[in-house]
């Protein structure tokens, strides 16, 4: 079932420091909502053990990445922690055309670019309970550029006011439930529903979703 809601396709953007647990939230949402598609980003970062090209990221050389910038293939791109990351325009537009909702995991620079280009995008910030907890989680998973990432978190939190929603990821079930609530609220927002569908509802007294 692609569209259990009446709303048009929506673009959700998730940001937050490394270690805040965005990945777990994203995986959980995608596993229970098949009206969502995740836009796999391109990056010049080296794959971590277990990461798969085309699933976690498209792992590109610096030359390949630059060529895509020059051809205008990115909806947004940014340098984050010594590497380049970008959202492929065609992926996002393709999924929107097919009627899916989209989830992007991008840093605060990318989120700002997307909000400028697509003001209707819904921006969600995921934070950890504290910097100490963030550092503990990052150490635990052996992330590269540890210090850079913990310091980067301070810069990212400076951008909080550009976001529409905040999720504090302390207990993951609660954070997952909050993300789900945000999705349901946005999918039920009158301004996100096609005016033609609103007209049909007015005429017919409602609409079946099954
Ligand atoms: P990681 O290297 O831990 O996978 O990701 C590092 C950071 O890059 C995260 O904050 C993540 O949100 C961000 N990121 C991932 N993909 C993109 C993208 O396509 N564009 C931008 N601007 N940031 C991205």
pLDDT tens digits for 144-183?
778 888 888 999 999 999 999 999 999 999 999 999 999 9
23 falls within a domain: yes
Q: What is the pLDDT of residue 10?
A: 96
* Domain containing residue 174: CATH number: 3.40.50.300
122 falls within a domain: yes
* Contact (CB, 8 A) for 26 and 104: no
Q: Is 33 exposed, middle or buried (0-12, 13-18, 19+ CB in 10 A)?
A: middle
Q: What is the pLDDT of residue 143?
A: 72
Phi and psi based region of residue 21 (left: phi greater than 0; alpha: psi -120 to 50; beta: remaining): left
73 falls within a domain: no
Q: Which residues span the domain enclosing 132?
A: 11-39+100-203
Q: Ligand 1 pocket: which residues have CB below 6 Å?
A: 15, 18, 41, 45, 76, 78, 80-81, 85-87, 105-107, 109-110
Q: How many domains does the chain have?
A: 1
45 falls within a domain: no
Tell me the percentage of the chain whose pLDDT exceeds 90: 81
178 falls within a domain: yes
**Segment 2-15 mean pLDDT:** 84
106 falls within a domain: yes
Residues 41-88 have pLDDT tens digits of 999 999 999 999 999 999 999 999 999 999 999 999 999 988 999 999
70 falls within a domain: no
- Take residue 170 and report the two structure tokens written for it: 């302390």
Q: What is the pLDDT of residue 3?
A: 55
Q: What is the pLDDT of residue 1?
A: 43
Averaged pLDDT score across all residues of the chain: 93
Whole-model pTM: value is 0.94
Q: How far is the centre of ligand 1, averaged over its atoms, from the C-alpha of 85 (Å)? A: 6
158 falls within a domain: yes
Q: Give residue for tokens 């995986």.
A: 27
Best residue for ligand 1 mutational test, from 87, 105, 159 (most atoms within 8 Å of Cβ): 105
């Amino acid at each position: 079932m692609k569209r259990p809601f009446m709303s048009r396709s929506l673009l959700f953007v998730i940001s937050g420091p490394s270690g805040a647990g965005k990945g777990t939230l994203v995986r959980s949402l995608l596993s229970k909502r098949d009206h969502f598609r995740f836009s796999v980003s391109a990056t010049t970062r080296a794959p971590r053990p277990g990461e798969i090209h085309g699933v976690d990221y498209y792992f590109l050389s610096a030359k390949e990445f630059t060529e895509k910038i020059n051809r205008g293939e990115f909806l947004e791109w940014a340098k984050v922690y010594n590497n380049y990351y970008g959202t492929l325009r065609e992926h996002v537009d393709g999924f929107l055309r097919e009627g899916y909702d989209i989830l992007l995991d991008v840093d605060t620079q990318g989120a700002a670019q997307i909000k400028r280009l697509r003001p209707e995008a819904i921006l969600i910030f995921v934070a950890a309970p504290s910097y100490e907890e963030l550092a503990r989680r990052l150490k635990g998973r052996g992330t590269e550029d540890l210090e850079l990432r913990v310091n980067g978190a301070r810069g990212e939190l400076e951008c909080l006011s550009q976001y529409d929603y905040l999720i504090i990821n302390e207990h993951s079930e609660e954070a997952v439930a909050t993300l789900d609530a945000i999705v349901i609220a946005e999918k039920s927002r009158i301004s996100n529903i096609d005016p033609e569908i609103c007209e049909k509802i007015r005429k017919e007294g409602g609409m079946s979703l099954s």
